Amino acid sequence: MVKPIYVINGPNLNRLGKREPEIYGMTTLAEIEAICRDAAGDTPVRFHQSNSEGQIIDWIHEAIDEGAGIVINPAGFSFTSVAILDALKMFPGPIVELHISNIHKREEIYHRSLVSKIATAVIAGLGPRGYATAVKSLRELADE
């Protein structure tokens, strides 16, 4: 059985399509899930979103035991959560950190992601299509 790719989304991403469309666009999280599943081909995807740090950590723990790789958009937790960083440090496979906007073109508070310190790769600024890039890249990384 092929191990799934975990796609984990952090706080406020459930509001995509309505939240600051000038930054994040009009694509909804449901549409992003479809993009991920299409990009994964025959590889299973476990797609999650939570506004709760503890739930995100629980999914990372699940991925440690069951996943081939993790695509994570930790959103605001990118810059504040040592707990998510510590959980990701335990994951033995590839991790792609993803941001819809280019965090480096934004306010200073968004320039220092803790998650980047453990990520195999970082994708920022490609909008929702960045998810397809992340999933396709993760499939290749997991096969190495």
Enzyme catalytic residues? 24, 99
Q: Which tokens belong to 100?
A: 């819809």
Helix axes 82-89, 53-66, angle to 10 degrees: 0
Kindly list the distances between the CA atom of residue 94 and the CA atoms of 30, 53, 120, in Å, as whole numbers in the listed order: 24, 21, 6
How many angstroms separate the CA atoms of 36 and 5, rounded? 10
H/E segment holding residue 63: helix 53-66
